[in-house]
Structure 1
Amino acid sequence: MTIQRFHDEINDQYSYLIIEQKEAIVVDPSRNAQRYLAYLNEHQLKLVGIALTHRPGSFASGWAELREKTRATVIGASSYRFHGEGHYLHAGRATMFPFGDGSHLQTQPTPGFTADSICLLAMDSDGKVQGIFTGGALLYDGVGYPLPRPEDKNPLHGRKTYVKEMYESLTKHISGFAPKANIYAGFGEAAHFSKMAESRHAQFNLTEAKEESPVLNQKDENAFERYVLADYPFVPAYVQGCLEKNPNGYQSWAKALYPFRELLTEEHRGEALKLPGDMAPASPQNLLLDGEEVLVIDTRHAADFTAGHQPGALNIQADGPFALALGSVVKPGEVFHVIIDEEEKTFGIAESIAKIGYDEQLQGASKWSDAHDTVLPKPLNLDDFKANHVGHYTIVDVRSPEAAEKDTRFYGAINIPYWELRGRAGQVPRDRPVVVHCGDGYASAIGASILRREIGDRVPVYDLGKRIKKFKAGR
């Protein structure tokens, strides 16, 4: 039995092919189904199973495209309601799926990370466990933070319930799996919902995890709950979209790339599906949908954006955590248009949009041109700001509350995280110029562009950007 690992760097998510006698099962496929199909074709393998350890909420899965093109059986928890034609195996405790020459994939329900989390045990013809696939239920030196659930009405109460489920799954089920079998986790340390003490994603086994992992060494359920929930991350808007859309599946990878086909380099242009001319991307000069202005996302560097941009555009730079930022600022279903300045960045932008499931709400993509109708923001007088920021400027810190409290740069600053700013712009006073800052300049570019869009017609809005490094804490 061979296990091939695939890494999606955008979401720091891991997927796998379990291979035995020219048959394969894919575990937790990411959005780009073509990468698995290419591998299967190159090695002359038949895909017989598509297994999901949980309903993905932090990434969009390509399981539906794989099912359509291979007719493989889809394997998931009985509570995971897949949609569409095809053969589905609703997995329960010790459900067996045969493949290869006498090998089996055994499923074990392990709720907590999600309500429908399962672990997968790959067993050879002798019944020996060759690999355990845990998704977010157990990571190297940690676990996945329990994901929100579509039915949540009280998220905080829900998380506590989910952590109790997770604790029971770890102590009563996962801890009893084959102690020396290799564990293949679904996420790395950089994934948004990873609770990990170490940054490496090493292959590990249960014995090592019990010796080293903090989550498996908490003294009781209450201590485990406090440890896991101590620094629970904010929930990006796109997560709800993934939770609702993944059971139905997404459009093909080629369709996701289609709006970018004229901007892609030769290396990737062939991946974009060729569609009729009447489906061509919209022109940035006519960004209207049913008479309403379409939201424009400008992916250029902050300095270029400040030098001139389309009215009302938001600046989410391609060089940075673009997928997370886009999925935090733009709501699921909200139509938007993307502006790009360099062809070399196009594929990464298109890939990021598709991997959070936002490609179906993308109105189009275009290359930046100086011929666009542009706004030229007035630059901040840094010397005046240094001398007179107290009482003469409204300062908005767009970092998380934890970061703002730990490293306060300006006393009296208003803390509104950038992912909440579109809905809370009305809380920013308009009686004096507004200066937006974060910790490194990436989020402040987003925040300043949001405030220019929302209140910029009534008050000057400036992005402090990387110049924040000139200011020490507690000014």
Structure 2
Amino acid sequence: MIIEQFKDEFLAHYSYAVVSECEQEIILIDPSRNPEPYYEFAKKFEAKIIGVIETHPHADFVSSHLEIHQTTGATIYAHSLTGVSYPFSPFDEGDEISFGKIKLKSLHTPGHSPDSISIVLHHDGRDKAVFTGDTLFIGDCGRPDLRESVGNLQAKREDLAQKMYHSLRDKLMKLADEVIVYPAHGSGTLCGKALSTANSSTIGAEKISNWSLQEMTIEDFVKELTTDQPFIPKYFGFDVDLNRKGASEFSTGIDKVNVLVKPEQLNADILVVDARPENLFKEGYLPGAINIVYGKKFETWLGSIVKPGEQFYLTAANEEQLQELISRTASIGYETFIESAFVTESGDVIMPVMPLEYFITNPDEFTIIDVRNENEAKKKSIFKESLNIPLGELRERIKEIPAEKPIVVHCAGGSRSAAGSSIIAAEFGAKIPVYDLGGAVRDFNSTEK
């Protein structure tokens, strides 16, 4: 028996292949949008992919379960409550899948969603591992507030938090201490708030270190779990519904993106997403462009700033990055929204250079916009007279920004303020200067200025 863990570092997502070496068969769990790594893995072992298990309809990435089924004939397994549109085999509480000497058992573990399952792997007469999806993470458990308005089954966060309390204690904590925990996400995901950087653990270790498995009343658990959760990107609900339907073929979606050598004329009504480094962007960009910098969080911020269904141009600094970003855009199901993609070297609009020394001595002469998340702003104030509008809400709340003074935009480290300042500049840039404080924000301490 072999368990192979795959990681999408950009979305902090883990997927798995369970291999029966004696039968040369594989079952996948929570696969990413691009199925090629799983096909290559199967070829390595000369094995056949016979099944794909979805622990729940994911909100933060698009799964390739339907494409794998259509390509290999593998059976898709999911809880019957999921209400899917694709052909599947129900995998409800107590159901089992046997292949070779391996047995996979379904546990219904609602909490992150009403239809969440965890999968216990039984081998050589004992439980060896549990694939916990978004129910139990290393150091945390799944957030309960993503199904209040999406999916076929909707539930209030308090109700799901109560279910999570029981799923953890009545199902997962009853497994043997030596059972290995394999979650669907690691540190960096927005599906939880305090995940460890570790990619696996054991039930016993989590009983000791994971806050959600400690002894407490259900009331205290619900309060803790529903407090200070991260923001919810715009694309999350879209991905839940897309995963319930099943996404189209990955490579076909990529090939359909209209890649231009050089755009002759752009539609001024269509948003331009410019992924070049902020310094290159500021030196010259296209009118109205938003600077979502090429980096580890590109797809998260793309899906937080651009709403599902909104067409946009995608541009990058070179062809290699452009192709990578098209694929990463597809990982959240946004490839069909790309009007066209192209490489940009410069543009006609220039962002003014931040007058840092004058700002330090005269902060009252500026309107300061803090684009950090609300929780961040509450915990650590950087400038006393600042207006907090989280980056994911900025386009919708742009009219709340006063236009009487020059505007300075900041975040915690510089990447979000690049996007925020470009959004604000698209609205105010012709009237008043808009500046990005950028990485200089690190020079300001945590005391209020």
TM-score (norm 2): 0.93
The C-alpha deviation readout for 1:76-112, integer Å capped at 9, x for no partner, is: 010112224x4x1112211122323x53322111101
Q: Judge conservation of contact 2:147–2:155 (CA < 8 Å) in 1.
A: no
Task: Give the drift of 1:301.
Answer: 1.1
Q: Distance in 1 between matches of 2:120 and 2:382?
A: 50
Select which of 385, 400, 405 maps to 1:412: 385
Select which of 260, 263, 270 maps to 1:284: 263
1:11 corresponds in structure 2 to: 11
User: Which deviates more from structure 2 when the two are superposed, residues 336-345 or residues 11-20?
Assistant: 336-345
Q: Judge conservation of contact 1:152–1:158 (CA < 8 Å) in 2.
A: no
Matches within 5 A, 1:177-196: 177-196=175-194
Distance 1:140 1:467, change over 3 A: closer
The C-alpha deviation readout for 1:225-276, integer Å capped at 9, x for no partner, is: 222223211001110110111112222221343367xxxxxxxxxxxxxxxx
Matches within 5 A, 1:18-417: 18-20=18-20, 21-84=23-86, 86=87, 88-100=88-100, 103-124=102-123, 127-149=125-147, 151=149, 158-196=156-194, 198-202=196-200, 204-258=201-255, 281=260, 284-288=263-267, 293-370=269-346, 372=347, 374-390=348-364, 392-417=365-390
Distance 1:307 1:280, change over 3 A: closer
Q: Distance in 1 between matches of 2:415 and 2:204?
A: 41
Task: Give the drift of 1:35.
Answer: 0.6
Q: Judge conservation of contact 1:110–1:118 (CA < 8 Å) in 2.
A: yes
Equivalent pairs: percent with the same residue? 30
Counterpart amino acid of residue 189 in structure 1: S
Q: Distance in 2 between matches of 1:470 and 1:137?
A: 39
Q: Distance in 2 between matches of 1:299 and 1:182?
A: 39
User: Which deviates more from structure 2 when the two are superposed, residues 311-320 or residues 221-230?
Assistant: 221-230
1:272 corresponds in structure 2 to: none
Task: Give the drift of 1:197.
Answer: 5.6
Q: Judge conservation of contact 2:391–2:416 (CA < 8 Å) in 1.
A: yes
RMSD over aligned CA atoms reads: 2.2
Counterpart amino acid of residue 287 in structure 1: L
Q: Judge conservation of contact 1:256–1:350 (CA < 8 Å) in 2.
A: no
Q: Tell me the SS of whatever aligns to 1:142.
A: coil
User: Which deviates more from structure 2 when the two are superposed, residues 63-72 or residues 352-361?
Assistant: 352-361
Counterpart amino acid of residue 224 in structure 1: F
Distance 1:212 1:378, change over 3 A: closer
Q: Distance in 1 between matches of 2:33 and 2:249?
A: 9
Q: Distance in 2 between matches of 1:381 and 1:189?
A: 36
Q: Judge conservation of contact 2:61–2:332 (CA < 8 Å) in 1.
A: yes
The C-alpha deviation readout for 1:177-208, integer Å capped at 9, x for no partner, is: 34432221111122122343632223x32222
Distance 1:282 1:163, change over 3 A: farther
The C-alpha deviation readout for 1:272-323, integer Å capped at 9, x for no partner, is: xxxxxxx6559533333xxx62111001111111111000000010034211
The C-alpha deviation readout for 1:369-416, integer Å capped at 9, x for no partner, is: 34x5x21233333333233321x2211111112222333222211111
Q: Distance in 2 between matches of 1:405 and 1:280?
A: 43
The C-alpha deviation readout for 1:165-188, integer Å capped at 9, x for no partner, is: 101111112222344322211111
Q: Distance in 2 between matches of 1:134 and 1:428?
A: 43
Q: Judge conservation of contact 1:218–1:224 (CA < 8 Å) in 2.
A: no
Q: Tell me the SS of whatever aligns to 2:11.
A: coil
Q: Distance in 1 between matches of 2:92 and 2:383?
A: 54
Q: Judge conservation of contact 1:195–1:228 (CA < 8 Å) in 2.
A: no
Q: Distance in 1 between matches of 2:342 and 2:36?
A: 25
Q: Distance in 2 between matches of 1:150 and 1:90?
A: 24
Q: Distance in 1 between matches of 2:129 and 2:155?
A: 34
Q: Distance in 2 between matches of 1:248 and 1:157?
A: 20
How many residues align structurally? 444
Runs of 4+ in 1 over 4 A off after TM superposition: 279-283
Q: Tell me the SS of whatever aligns to 1:174.
A: helix
Q: Distance in 1 between matches of 2:438 and 2:259?
A: 36
Counterpart amino acid of residue 157 in structure 2: R
1:462 corresponds in structure 2 to: 435
Q: Judge conservation of contact 1:332–1:358 (CA < 8 Å) in 2.
A: yes
Distance 1:377 1:195, change over 3 A: closer
Query: Which residues of structure 1 form unaligned runs of 5+?
Result: 261-278
The C-alpha deviation readout for 1:118-171, integer Å capped at 9, x for no partner, is: 0112223x6532321111111222212225116369xx9821111101011111
Q: Judge conservation of contact 1:188–1:194 (CA < 8 Å) in 2.
A: no
Q: Judge conservation of contact 2:186–2:195 (CA < 8 Å) in 1.
A: no
- Structure 1 residue 434 and structure 2 residue 407: aligned? yes
Q: Judge conservation of contact 1:259–1:281 (CA < 8 Å) in 2.
A: no
2:396 corresponds in structure 1 to: 423
Q: Distance in 2 between matches of 1:458 and 1:157?
A: 45
Q: Distance in 2 between matches of 1:385 and 1:16?
A: 51
Q: Judge conservation of contact 1:296–1:339 (CA < 8 Å) in 2.
A: yes
Q: Judge conservation of contact 1:144–1:193 (CA < 8 Å) in 2.
A: yes
